[in-house]
Amino acid sequence: MSSNAVFIRHPESALYKFGEEHPFNPIRLTLAGELLQSANALQEEAIVIPAYTADHSLLTLVHRPDYVDIVEKLSEDHPSPDDIGAAAKYGLDTEDTPFFPGIHTAAAAIVAGSVEAADQVMSGKALHAYHMAGGLHHAFPDRGAGFCVYNDAAVAIRHLRQTYNARVLYIDTDVHHGDGVQWVFYDDPQVCTYSIHETGKFLFPGTGFVHEKGTDAGFGTCFNVPVEPYTEDDSWLESFRESVEKVAAAFKPDIIISQHGCDAHAYDPLSHIHCSMRIYKEMPAIIHELAHRYAGGRWAALGGGGYDIWRVVPRAWSLVWLAMTDHPIAAALEEEGSNAPLPQQWLDRWKPLSPEELPEWWLDDWSEVPPIPRREEITNKNRAVRLIAVQDLT
């Protein structure tokens, strides 16, 4: 498989920060990027810095003009009382997604990075592209939600549709349902949305059930695989592999856009899933293989959620790039029972700053963690849901 991959980095995306106490902290990008560099896995020549930010014409491919206008106004250092009063109408005054000075600039930079990743791949400049700051999948055309202001994934997909007439398979592995992207393309037969996540019965945003299949011409191009709370690695990966392979085979995309939220880890404070780093090693490898089998290798990956920012996110997001570039570390980790130490340089740099004891290995040692008592019941429920989710493809 080709290692012709580019790493997209827009400097202004690091400004996307809601506050010191907010769980969405852009230091995640620094931690993961420096981990890759310390592992000699990210060279300067692979980094692409977009020379633009997303303007109105790009943002309004998905978002309503009045929404973009209010985000711009709330981005000012001192918004007017009328604009502050309008924030609630657009979902920008909540504890999850509060407006802040510079919010438009930062969010538009993230959109630009994801569009650049999609363009790099679909234009043939690169076979694969990774935009770690992207994946803000909860934003809607007319409002922000779930830490997301602009939906960079949806804008990138709409850009691919309009510019290249591409058939796009969107794969979302965040523990929270990829609702914003799903609803934008719910009636589009040329965009297939797939999401594996903790069931909306218990977790934000409360959607993503198997009966959500699309509408009108888009019926049958929307797939959701909700899993039970406390799902573990084996069941998560079984649910993912058995369903996403059938979806990719049936849809036959021109390009795959994947979102790699890493909040299904047992350490994550915002979900109830009990998985380890193993799923973040295996899912990118599966997607990589599917891209080569069905999409001519064309694959653009985005980041997403992940709120254990010290122990989980740097490793999980780095593993996407390692899989994408066929790095020797990824190959070594594929061997049964194998592991590899994290770079000592990275550990020495961040251990004094981390509020948690940092792991010293790429993968978790789960041998001493007691199994979930309801493992068999959870596994059987997940199997039943997965079969329903893709029953029309069998």
Residue with tokens 């995306």: 13
What distance, in Å, lies between the first and last C-alpha atoms of the chain?
29
Task: Say whether 272 is catalytic.
Answer: no
Q: How far apart are CA 107 and CA 278, in angstroms?
A: 31
Q: How far apart are CA 290 and CA 299, in angstroms?
A: 9
**Active-site residue (options: 138, 159, 274, 327):** 138
CA distances for 301 relative to 8, 166, 364, angstroms: 10, 16, 23
332-336 contact pairs (CB < 8 A, 24+): 333/281, 333/362, 333/363, 334/281, 334/285
Answer whether 196's CB lies under 8 Å from 204's CB: no
Burial 350-379 (b: 16+ CB within 10 A, else e): beeeeeeebbeebbbeeeeeeebeeeeebb
Tell me which residue of 309, 249, 238 sits closest to 279, measured CA to CA: 238
- Catalytic (active-site) positions: 138
